[in-house]
Chain A
Amino acid sequence: MTTRYRLGGLSRLDTTLMAAGAVLLALLLVLPLVASPLVVDKLTLLMIYVLLAVSWNLLAGFAGLVSVGQQTFVGLSGYFVLRLVEAGIAPLPALAAGSAAVLVVAWPLSWIVLRLRAAEFAVAMWVIAETIRSLVMFDPLVQGETGRSLMTLNAMDADLRRTIVLLAAVLAVSVALVTSYRLLRGRLGGESQAIRDDEEAAGSIGIDTLRVKRTIFLVSALGCTVAGSLWLASAITYQPRTAFGINWSVFMLFMVLVGGLGSFTGPVIGALLLFAIQEVFGDYGSWYLAGLGVVAILFALYAPGGVVGLITGRSLREPLSMRKTLVAPRG
């Protein structure tokens, strides 16, 4: 039998983690029955963070593409939802359709930006976010800086709306986790790992690097747009400057870097951490944000593997690893 590269099997820890995750998500689904509106809102925010972190990690951790412009998709989905609602579509279908519509922009975009080199890609995405924001602000519906609220959604019963949004968010996170798990454990995972290790070599052994990157870019964009729709649904007000704000990117960067870039569990841990830090220090406003920047720098310099990297460094076994390793031939 020949030697092959493949994923190591799932350890007990891995299966336990997966089971725990599933139970937690299931618990979140019944939570709105008992929890207060405030808790439901907070949990929705947490789910949005997880979604954003998982999406950004796919891009940076698995395709090696650091984008400072994923807020393009966050902001754009909100705008599309607003437009669709204006056109007379009911708010909930509009939220779903708005997310999907963003792909119409993301797909042609991917043909251009993915040909850029690393840092150029990062800033070009930022410029694109700014460009699209300027374009959106031309629409009189948005009312420039003032923004606009999703009136029809406001007309709904507040508790019902909260519950639906949380359920949708939990569903979105579950789908995102399962999808990225399957993608990364499959062929795409191996290809993306090869590209991250050495793009030229990956190309020379017949991997269509552009196709792999485009797939990941689109999946990641979709994650951000769903997060954007959910955020609009829970915040109701749409302000272009916030929706397209660079802070989204700073948050995504923080969550992924602190959690563990390129690991499966890292972004989830990062999202939990950001959420917790925001709860405790959020009142300090700008100093809190400055602190996030400093912590991100420290992690990048001294613990580039994030919290997961620190844990793995001790136990030498990454939980739910996506890394393909040499497996000795059996028999």
Chain B
Amino acid sequence: MPDAFLPELLQPLVQALVQGTLLGGYYAIMAVGLSLMVGVVRFINLAHGDMAVLGALLVITLTQGLGLPIFAAILIMLPVMALAGYGMHALLFERAMRGGFLLPILVTIGLGAALQNSMFGLWGSNTRSLGADIGALSWASWTLPGGVLVGQLPVLVCLCAVLVIGSLHLVLRHTRLGRAIKATSTDAEAAELCGVDARRARRAASAIAVGLAALAGVFLAMRGQITPYSGPAQLIFAFEAVVIGGLGSVWGTLVGGIVLGISQSLGGLVSNQASLLTGHLVFLAVLLLRLFREWTAAHGGWRASVRAWTTLHRGRFARRKGEKA
């Protein structure tokens, strides 16, 4: 669409930037729950993405199977999933956490496998979507000057992300539960000594995390199609957003989500395949940068650390020559 406002070459680029930012909102909702788990419970729930898919499938069954309006279905599903998160923590994670850092990872991988395949058994292999249940919203869009199309649903999801993250921020800062969660994440034993039930705080954090994952899952099913095996990919995206945004920071996940979304949609200009790849590469680059920073910080600036490294190794080579001689 030629337009005076935007040069024709730039139009796809701007379009990708806008879409990537909005996509980032979705990733942020996925990621903020994971970030909360990492921050408070101190482990990564590898079944986080599968919880999202489960939430979405529940809503699909409530609307398409039982004929409930979608909004009501979401309102029923959210507390159910939050309760599931609470119970999952009480039954599985607490026991696993007593066995060091290996067991929680093992348990959540097992949980992921169990969830995906049970969902496959229950809901079958068909791809499913909530697109039909939200009517025009699923495809309606606004046209910005320059011919840039903005989908109404992505805008809604992105606004929702800001709302969710903003309210989580407020809850953590200004409510008793939020402060208890923050205290537990900083120092669980000290929190107990202040009268905080650290176990309950962790369970609550897990409930919030799973609830948010399920909400994200619903948006995923509204935007496109899901299968029982869509979860792992969502976990990876959420993890990437958390790492890009900086571990444990609530607003950071929004930034991380948007960076990931933009990387993917820019990569998508090349091909579908390239879209995911670009996201992964940006994540790996951020990870490398962080490791490099940690390394230099431990050696007093990067110049000093390179110098230290070379002298160290020169010494080693010299010794070896000496030994031979």
Contacts and interface: CB of A to CB of B under 8 A. Distances in A.
A119 B101 contact: yes
B110 interface: yes
A294 B118 CA distance: 10
Contact of B44 (A122, A128, A144, A290): A122
B190 interface: no
Given A119-B105, A289-B117, A297-B111, A126 B236 contact: yes
B110 A112 contact: no
Nearest to A126: B236
- Give the secondary structure class of B's interface: helix
A300 B110 CA distance: 9
Interface stretch (A46-54, A72-80, A129-137): A129-137
A297 B110 CA distance: 6
Interface in A55-75: 60, 64, 66, 68
A238 to B, nearest CB: 17
Interface residues of B, number: 46
Contact of B276 (A130, A261, A291): A130
Interface string B276-302: 110011011001100100110000000
B145 interface: no
Contact of A300 (B107, B115, B118, B236): B107
A131 B280 contact: yes
Contacts of B281: 131
Contacts of A131: 277, 280-281, 284
Interface string B84-106: 00000000100110010111111
A126 B105 CA distance: 13
Q: Which residue, of B38, B101, B117, B232, has the highest number of chain A Cβ atoms within 10 A?
A: B117
A127 B243 CA distance: 12
Contact of B103 (A124, A254, A304): A304
Nearest to B232: A246
A135 B278 CA distance: 10
A142 to B, nearest CB: 11
Nearest to B124: A286
B33 interface: no
B117 A127 contact: no
Q: Is the interface of A mostly helix, strand, loop or mixed?
A: helix
B121 A120 contact: no
Contacts of A107: none
Nearest to B238: A123
A45 B19 CA distance: 46
Given A112-B291, A127-B239, A119 B107 contact: no
B121 A134 contact: no
Contact of A127 (B92, B107, B284, B288): B284
A166 interface: no
10 contacts: A68-B46, A115-B294, A115-B295, A122-B46, A127-B283, A138-B277, A261-B102, A286-B118, A294-B110, A297-B111
Interface of A: 60, 64, 66, 68, 112, 115-116, 118-120, 122-124, 126-128, 130-131, 134-135, 137-138, 144, 246, 249-250, 253-254, 257, 261, 285-297, 300-301, 304
